[in-house]
Each structure stands twice: as C-alpha cells, then as structure tokens.
Amino acid sequence: MIIIMKPGASEEAVQKVSDLIRSRGLQAHLSKGAEVTIVGVVGDKTRLQGSNIEISEGVDKIVNVTESYKLVNKKFHPEDSVITAGTASIGPGTLTVMAGPCAIESHDQLLQCAYAVKKAGATFLRGGAYKPRTSPYSFQGLEEEGLKYMKEAREATGLNVICEVTSLRALETAVKYVDMIQIGARNMQNFELLKEAGRSGVPVMLKRGLAATIDEWLNAAEYIISEGNPNIVLCERGIRTYETATRNTLDISAVPVIRAKSHLPLIVDPSHATGVRAYIEPLSKAAIAAGADGLMIEVHPCPACALSDGPQSLTFEQFDDLMAHIRPYAELAGRS
Ligand code: PEP
Ligand code: MN
C-alpha cells in the first residue's frame, strides 16, 4: 500500500508516519514529488491494523497496491526515474543509444566499432563477452579478455560500456570493467543473478524474457531493486509469438504499458526483436514515437563475417544513416 501525504505535509509528519511503519516491522520508502510525498509500504500490511495510520497528521489517503511488484511500481514513485550509468543519464528528455557488436570478437573489431558508434552519436558501446548461445558449439565469447577490450574502448573514446553477464562469476568479473551490466532475455528469471545484481549496486539493464509477461518482467526488476539497487533500466527486445517473419515480435505496446506501470526507464532493442537489418530503422522510429528512452542497436564492421547475429547487424555507414534519420523523431518526442 501507499500513503499519500497531504500537499504541504510537514517533514515531521512524514517522519512520524515512516517511523510508525518501521516500528511495525515494515519498510517505508519515500517518494518526494513536486507537490506531494508518497510513503510506500512494503511488507505484510495487516501489521498496521490498529495503528490509526490513516488519521495520522498530514495523511491524505491510503491506496492499496495490488500488484506484487512495489518499488518499481509507478504508484510508489509517480515521477519517471533517471538512471545514471557512467557519464550517461537515462530517462525522460534524452534518447540513449547503445550500439556495438553482438559479441566482442577481437581487440580491433571492438575498437573500430567504438570509434564508429561514437562518431555517429551513440553514448554507450555494447558488446557481449559472455554469449548466451542457443547451441553450445557456437562462439561463447572472449570472457574477461573481451571485458579488457571494453575498458580500453571506454578509455579511448569516452563512451560508457555495457556487457551482458550470464552467471554470478561473470557478474563478479564484469563489474570491474563496465559502467552497466546487462541481464539478458534468457536470464530474466535467474533469481540468484537478479539478487546478486541487486546487491552489487551496479546499474543494470534488464531485458524482457523471451516469453515473459510484463508482470513477470517487472517482478524480475523488483528482485534487483528489493536488494537495494534502484539503478535499473528495462529493455524490450521482442517476444516469442507465432509469427516467423521476424526472429521475435517487437511488443511496441510494452512501451506505453511500462510507462503506465513503472517509473523505470525503457530501452528498445529492435535488433534482437526482428533479426532483420532492414526493419531496424522503422522500428527505432516507432519506439521513439511510443515513448522509449533509448535504443540498443547491433553494429559490426563486417556483418557478413560476424560470429553472431550478422543478419541483424548494421554496417557503420548504415548506423550513421540510422542516427541521422531518427534525429527528427527524437526531437519531436522532446529528446536529445
Ligand atoms: C544481446 O543483447 O546480446 C542478447 C543476447 O540479447 P537478448 O538477451 O535480448 O537475446
Ligand atoms: Mn546479438
């Protein structure tokens, strides 16, 4: 449940309400808006029975939060969050573009990508060092060696860097090298990994599972935030449907739905959603129009030679064009 304080309720009144909640063994989370303060309550609310909290000084009303996710819920935090990762602020007013190869394949490949995406205007370099491949015989990633190249690319270009982690061991290593970790679609419900990402405090981009509902996805984010890490960005990357013309189906409705249900920023990944290079530009535009806070795009110096996801990877020139073509859409959406 949330306790909505009256406009202009004193700090002291807010403190008393929070103290009362905590004295009953519950957690109190404050969200101070421009006009009203909301006190979110996490825990078994029956413990507040007989506390008369509803008539405490400064309390306007009490609203039940029926969803099982609380801290990522918009009701707990009506203002959209801005997440800082490296030098970037992800959230309202900006369009964050993360771009780079599917997998880090070599030092030169990554550095070439870094210079190219930086020049085109991206603010994050992406690249997988631990690849969650469908087949165990496919390229699995360079692991720590790849992370070292990422760090070098960051130092050379000033880009922020993001890498996926697929295990607790990978997480422990990656936090030494990157600005943000990615939990991929296949690990969206790896609860031990989510909890450890929560304890790490490192900014996390949480991708939607291949067949996850929005509710399940927000509950996965709740695992991270409930361990004390509020630095979470969601990423819609397409879901499994009966359609086979694209690799997955980009759930564009997820953008306004997430906007309505959560305060967390949302990035759209049209590369993994479609698996087809030609569809990336129209869906990038659609994502911006729908309200996305950013895009994740796969880029490769030679898509035909890529060790993974070549068919969806853009060449440097195509990425340059994409950035130029989406700029007016970003401006129209009030984002820079
Ligand atoms: C990726 O971004 O490299 C990736 C594997 O994506 P997803 O988890 O969305 O499949
Ligand atoms: Mn990929």
Give me the pLDDT at residue 35, please: 87
pLDDT at 205: 99
Counting atoms of ligand 1 from 1, which one is nearest the CA of 128? 3
227-274 residue pLDDT tens: 999 999 999 999 999 999 999 999 999 999 999 999 999 999 999 999
E runs forming strands in the chain = 2-5, 27-32, 37-42, 59-63, 83-85, 88-90, 96-100, 124-126, 160-164, 180-183, 204-207, 232-236, 266-268, 294-298
Res. 320: pLDDT tops 90:
yes
CA distance 254 to 239: 11
CATH superfamily of 83-332: Aldolase class I (3.20.20.70)
Nearest in space to 248 (alpha carbons), one of 279, 216, 282, 285 = 279
Ligand 1: residue whose CA is nearest its atom 3: 102
Q: What CATH class is the domain 2-63?
A: alpha beta
The pLDDT value given to residue 208: 98
**Structure-token pair, residue 230:** 């509020």
pLDDT tens track for 26-76: 999 999 998 899 999 999 999 999 999 999 999 999 999 999 999 999 999
Percent over 70 (pLDDT), the chain: 100
pTM of the complete model? 0.97
Span 317-328, average pLDDT:
98
Looking at residue 34, its pLDDT comes to 87
Ligand 1 atom at minimum distance from 208 CA: 9
Short-list 291, 290, 289, 294, CA closest to 323 = 294
Q: How far is the CA of 275 from the centre of ligand 2 (A)?
A: 9
Give dist(CA 138, CA 122) in Å, integer: 29
Distance 100 CA to ligand 2 centre (A): 10
What's the rounded mean pLDDT across residues 5-19?
96
Q: What is the pLDDT of residue 294?
A: 98
Residues touching ligand 1 (Cβ under 6 Å) are: 102, 128, 132, 164, 184-186, 207, 237, 272
How far apart (Å, rounded) are the C-alpha atoms in residues 187 and 194? 9
Q: What is the pLDDT of residues 153-202, one digit of tens each?
A: 999 999 999 999 999 999 999 999 999 999 999 999 999 999 999 999 99
Domain boundaries, the chain: 2-63, 83-332
**Atom number, ligand 1, closest to the C-alpha of residue 185:** 8
Burial class of residue 60 in the structure, from the number of CB atoms within 10 Å of its CB (0-12 exposed, 13-18 middle, 19+ buried):
middle
CA of 20 relative to ligand 2 center, distance in Å: 49
Compute, in angstroms, the gap from residue 324 CA to the centroid of ligand 2. Answer: 23
| Cβ–Cβ under 8 Å, residues 228 and 198 | yes
Tokens of 4: 């909505």
Sign of CA pseudo-dihedral 174, 176, 178, 182: positive
**How do residues 207-226 score in pLDDT, each as one tens digit?**
999 999 999 999 999 999 99
Tokens of 146: 């790849």
- Which residue type does 120 have? A
> If you measure from the C-alpha of residue 233 to the centroid of ligand 2, how many angstroms do you get, rounded to a whole number?
18
